[in-house]
Amino acid sequence: MITLKAGRDRSRGDARAHLAAVHAGKGRTPLVRISIFSLRHYWQASLAIGATIVASVLQLMIPRLLGHAVDQAQNVLSAAAQGAEQALFWTAMTLLAVSVARGFFTLVQNYYSESVGHHVGYELRLAFYDKVQKLSYSYHDRVHSGDLITLGLLDLDGVRMFFSTGLVRVVLLAVLIGVGAFMLFTTDALLAMLALSFVPFVAWRSSAAQLTLRATWLVLQERLSVLTRVMEENLGGIRVVRAFSGQKFELGKFDAASKAALELAHRRVFIRVSNTSMMTFSFFAAMGLVLWVGGNKVIAGEMSVGTLASFLTFMTILQMPVRQLGLMVNSFARAATCGERFYAFIDEKIEIEDKPGSVPLAITQGTLRFEDVHFTYPGASHPTLTGVSFEARAGETIGIVGAPGSGKSTIAHLIPRFYDVTAGRITIDGQDVRDVTVESLRRRVGVVQQDSFLFTTTIENNIAYGDPWAKETKIEKAAESAQLHNYIVGLPAEYDTVVGERGVSLSGGQRQRLAIARSLVTRPSVLVFDDSTAAIDAGTEHRIRSAIRRFAKDRITIIIAHRLSSLMHADRILFLDDGQIAEQGSHEALLALGGRYKALYDLQTRPDEDIEIERAAQ
C-alpha cells in the first residue's frame, strides 16, 4: 500500500542538490557534462579507473610471460639446458598469479563502474522528477506525458551507462594500445607497425559510425516516444476503446508505430555490426601479416619463437577490445544524443517560480482582486481574458458562468498562479500573487477541478494529500462537509479502503466529493470550485453547499459552473462572454436585467418550451 503521508519531504533536499549538480557545466557539450557529473563520485570512479589501468597492465604482462614460457619450454627439450624446467615452473606460477590478479582487478573495475552508473542514475532520476514537479502548466500543456516517460527512462539510461560503457572502455583501450605499442616497438619496430596497422582504419570507421549512430539514435528516440505515447493514451482510454470496439484500430496504430521503430532499430544494428565486422577483419588481416613476417624472422634466426608468440598473444588480447569498440562507439553516440535531449529538459526554463526576495503570502482581511487582467495562452492567437476586473471579500461567494471557452476555468487557474497573467495583476490583500512564494500561495488557494484525479492509495491518504499530518478528526470533518463520510464508514475498511487507479472504484460523483474533501482539509483562504459538482445530484449538491457555506463564512468562495442551480445562491455572479465580464450582479438582479444570464436561466429552467420551439422550426 502506498502511504502518501509518510515521507512527504523525503529526499526533497537531496533532489534539489542533485539538480544543482546536474546543472553544473551548463553550456558545455553533453558528453563533457555527463563526464563531469559521473566523476563527482570520485572514489568509486577512481577505483574503477585505477583498477582498469592495473588490470590492463597485468594483461599486457601475459604476452611477455607466455613468450618466456615458450622459449623455456624449448630449452627444456634441450639436454644442454640447466634449470630450464624450474624456470618454466616459476614462469607458469607467475603467469597464474598475474592472471588471478588481472581477474580480481577486472572484477573491481566492473563493480565500481556499475556503481558509478547506478549512483548517476539515482541522482538523475531524482533531478528529473524534481524538475517535472517544478515545470509550469504551460509546459505540460504542450509536452505529451509519453515523451516525458521516454525521456525519464530511455534517455536517462543512455546517460547513466556512459561511464561504464564509454569512459572506462576508453581508458582500457588507451592503456592496452598505448603501453602495448611501446612494448612492441621496443621489441621489433617492423612487427609492431604491422601489429598496430589496423588502428587507423578502426579509428576512421569508428568516427564514421559514431556520426551515423548518433543521428539514427535521435530518430529512434523520437519513434519510441511516439510508441510510448500511443501506449499511454490507449491505457488511459481503454474504456473508450472497449466501448466503441476500437481494438483493431488501436492495434493497427500501435503496430505501425512499432514497425517504424523496429525498422530503424534494424538499420542501427546493421550499421553497428557491419562496422564491427570490418574492424575485426582489419584486426585479423594485421595478425596474418605479423604471423607471416614474424615466421620468416624465426626461420631466419632473427627472432625467437617466444617473441613471435608474445606478439600474437598481444594481438589476441586486443581482439576483444576491438570487438567491443563498436559498442563503445555506440555508447558515445547514444550518450551524446540522450544527453542532448536530457539536458535540454533539465535546462528548460521554469516559467512559474518564486521571484528573488519573494515572501510568504500573509492573509489579513482576505480580499481578492482582479485588476484589468489580460491573459493569452502560450501559442494562442486570441486572448482568453480581456480586461477582467472584480473584487471578492472574505465570506463572499462569487459565481462565474458563461459559454464554453469564455475564460471561466482560466480565472480558476490564474488565482493560484498556475499561469501568469499577460497584463494587469491579481492581488490578495494587496499582495501581487507574483511577488509571494508559490508554495504559500497554493496553500492559501484551494482549487477543486472537474477532473478529479485520485491516487492509488487509501481514501484517508487521498483526502489528506494536501496536509499529510492532518488528524483523523479533521479528515472526517472534511469528508462530512463533502457528504462522503456516511459512504466511507459503510465500506469494510472505511477510510483505509484503497481506491483503484484514477479512482475507478468510485463513481464520478464520489470522486468529485473526495476531491472537495481534499481541498477542505487544507482550510484555504480562497476556495475555487471549477465545475466540481457536475457529476453530483442536486440533493447532494445542496447539502454540500450548505456545509461549505458554514465552512466558508470567513473565506472567499468562487464557484464556476454551467448549471445555474449550482451558483444562483452566490452573493455576486459574473457572466463571461469571450473573455470579458458581460454582466454581473446577484441572481435576482441579473434576472431583472433581462440580458444573457436571463436567457440562459430560461433555457435551463424551461426546457419544454425550447423543445416546442424546435418542433415548430422543423
- Residue 87 class from Cβ within 10 Å (0-12 exposed, 13-18 middle, 19+ buried)? middle
Residues 590/580, Cβ–Cβ less than 8 Å: no
Total Cβ atoms within 10 A of residue 120? 25
Q: Is 502 left (phi over 0), alpha (psi -120 to 50) or beta?
A: left
Strand ranges inside 95-164, DSSP E: none
Distance between CA atoms of residues 340 and 369, nearest Å: 44
Distance between CA atoms of residues 186 and 345, nearest Å: 51
Domains annotated on the chain, with CATH: 12-346 (1.20.1560.10), 368-617 (3.40.50.300)
Residue with cell 442536486: 538
| Confidence bin at 2 (pLDDT 50/70/90) | very low
Distance between CA atoms of residues 443 and 522, nearest Å: 7
Residue among 583, 525, 527, 597 at smallest CA distance from 560: 527
* Rounded average pLDDT over 193-213: 79
Residues 556/562, Cβ–Cβ less than 8 Å: no
pTM of the predicted model, to two decimals? Answer: 0.72
Using the 8-state DSSP alphabet, how is residue 483 labeled?
T
DSSP 196-217: TTHHHHHHHHHHHHHHHHHHHH
Distance between CA atoms of residues 306 and 88, nearest Å: 13
Distance between CA atoms of residues 497 and 506, nearest Å: 11
List pLDDT tens digits, range 32-90: 888 888 888 888 999 999 999 999 888 888 888 787 777 767 666 554 455 666 777 77
3-state helix, strand, coil in the chain (%, to 5): 65, 10, 25
Distance between CA atoms of residues 547 and 409, nearest Å: 24
Write down the pLDDT at residue 280.
Answer: 80
List pLDDT tens digits, range 401-417: 888 888 888 888 899 88
List pLDDT tens digits, range 246-294: 777 878 888 888 888 888 888 888 888 888 788 888 888 888 888 898 8
Write down the pLDDT at residue 541.
Answer: 67
Comparison of pLDDT for 359 and 502, the residue scoring more: 359
What per-residue string of b and e applies to 391-417 under the rule 16 or more CB within 10 Å gives b?
Answer: ebebebbbbbbbeeebbbbbbbbbbbb
